[in-house]
Structure formats: C-alpha cells, structure tokens
Amino acid sequence: MRTPVRLGSALGAAAFLTLTLGGCSGAPSALGTQPGLQQSMAKTSPDTLSKTSPGVVAKKKRTKPTEIFNQFNSVPQGPQPTNFEVVLQGNQVSELCGATNPPCLNQALYGPYNPFCPPSQGPCYPTVTYNPSTNTTTVTYSGSTLYQNIPGHSNYYHFGLFATPTSNGSVKGLVLSSYWSYPSSPNAAQPIVSINSSGPKTSASWQYAMVYVAVALTKGGQPVYGTWNEVAYVPKGSEQPKLTFKNYGTQTLYVVSSGIIPAQSVPSDPECLSNPSCPENMTILASENFAGSPPPGEDGSQFIPLSYPPEDVLKPSKP
C-alpha cells in the first residue's frame, strides 16, 4: 500500500492545484476541490480489467505507465539563480510534452514541484526544447524568484517531472546533466543520476517500484542531490526490476543512500494514459518527498535494499 500523502508537507501544499492552462494562474483552489490529493493510492489496481467470456476476467494490455520523478538539489552560495535546467539525450519533447508544446501541458507543475512557481499560483509549465545540433532536449524551470518548497530543508529545492516512455527503456535513463543558470554569472553544474530500466512496451501486469538515490560530492558528505522515481516494471515473482545507475556529468558522485519500494500499484484511471499530470499521478508525485516517502534509514522509511544497487562511487562516464 502506498504511503498516504501528508498534507502538512511541502508537497502536500499542492493545495494550489487549479487546472488552468498557460503560464501561472493567480487563483488558487480550495484544498477540498483537489482531485489529485483526494484519491487514495490504495484504491488503484495494477491494470484495467475486461471480460473476455462469461465467468472469465482477463487483464487488458496497456502501454507503459508514466514515469514520475521528484528530485531535490541544493543551491551554491552566491547570487540567486533564475533557471534550473535538466538536459536529456535525444529528442524527448513528445515523451515530456505529448502533442502540445509550448506550453508543455503535460508538466502542469505547482510550487511544491517547481520552486520558481509562486506558492499561491499555478500551474507553471517548464520550457522544453530540442537542439538538433547537440541532439539533446533541455527542460528549463525558470522565474524571477526561487521559493523555498521543502519545509525543514532550507537549501534543498524540489523539481518534479512526468515522462511517457515510448521505447523499452526509461526516460530517466537519458538524463545527461543539470545546472543552475544566472543572468550574469556562469552556469553552476549540479549532480544528477541516470536511472535506467528496461521492459516491454505493453503489458497487462504493470507495477511501480519507487526508487530512491542520494549523492554527495565528497565521501561521507551531506547529500546535494536526491531523487524519488516511480519505475514501471512487469514483476516476476518477488524479483526487483533490474536497474542501472550512471553519472554522465563531470563530477564524481558518492552515493549516500539508495533503496526501493517494489510492488506498488499503477493508476487505474484511463485518463492517466493520455494525461501524465492526471489526478492519480499528481497524488503519486505528492508522495515523493521526505515526508511522504522518507529516505532509507530515516524514521518511517519503507525502502528496502536494492537487488541491483548503484556503485558506492559513481565516476563520470559517457552515455
């Protein structure tokens, strides 16, 4: 059973969910009107069922569920950044935005998942662009003010993202780099970990596994980056999905902690097949944080050791 969303947490602060389009809406909704936080993930089932003949119920095959990420990054000392950018290999615009871009309507993010989005407004859509000369896609979160969006962690900031994979691999496995950018200062490179998994394009037995990893820039140091990721996989008994962890950046990364919560249900609402930011997926995103899913080793954590963990030291490598 998925850990319930704690409405007192930063990500529970998605009380500002209003399904308006284009930029940031200035009219927050009341908490009681949010479908994304009203639904319990305990009500979801692995897949939609259909009857094939009297007395026989068969599962329908469906495409791979949305990948749901929520990471935290720290901010270097110095001027306040006006952008945070994540770079992925290849053209991932359709995987991130679907048929509409700009604005990238699939990324209907609010303050708890985009710290450049004013707390009382939203959604705020990141900019997603493809550069054919470098064959890379860049996701840019931007704004004039960086708002604190993780209570109790003053120098950490959450960034959420939805992705709809169209291949056997994982979109999270294509992340190459990330950085803070400034109006008049050089970019500040940030750590990011590529997490790849493989599986079929369709299945009748999808489940989620929530995967967590946090890294530091020095051995024994404090985490400067961590990420919660819902990875879709087809279970084989109690076997965990096979994952690979890579560092395509320029800095050596030291793994502080990692873990997995396997056998999680995937959304049952058919809307989630065409709308990555559907209410059930928003509920999952709202659980990917320190309060909703405490990291391995912390009180209340449900994470267990990975069968395929990252190496203790992730050295820079080439994709």
The pLDDT tens digits of the residues spanning 218-261 come to: 999 999 999 999 999 999 999 999 999 999 999 999 999 999 99
Q: Which pLDDT score, from 0 to 100, does residue 120 have?
A: 85
**What does the CA dihedral 255, 286, 145, 94 come to, rounded to 10 degrees?**
80
If you ran DSSP here, which 8-state letter would residue 80 be given?
P
Q: Which pLDDT score, from 0 to 100, does residue 73 have?
A: 97
Domain that holds residue 258: 11-37+80-308
The pTM (predicted TM-score) of the whole model is 0.82
Domain-located, residue 227: yes
Domain-located, residue 217: yes
Instruction: Report the DSSP beta bridge partners of residue 184.
Output: none
Residue pair 86/70 in contact (Cβ under 8 Å)? The answer is: no
Domain-located, residue 94: yes
How far is 222 from 13, CA to CA, in rounded Å?
26
Confidence bin at 168 (pLDDT 50/70/90) = confident
Domain-located, residue 252: yes
Q: How many structural domains does the chain have?
A: 1
What is the arithmetic mean of pLDDT over 155-176? 91
Confidence bin at 166 (pLDDT 50/70/90) = confident
Domain-located, residue 197: yes
Domain-located, residue 47: no
53 pLDDT above the threshold of 80: no
Residue partners of 304: CB distance under 8 A and separation at least 6: 259, 260, 261, 262
What is the arithmetic mean of pLDDT over 43-55? 45
Domain-located, residue 6: no
Domain-located, residue 115: yes
More confident residue, 166 or 162: 162
Average pLDDT, the chain: 85
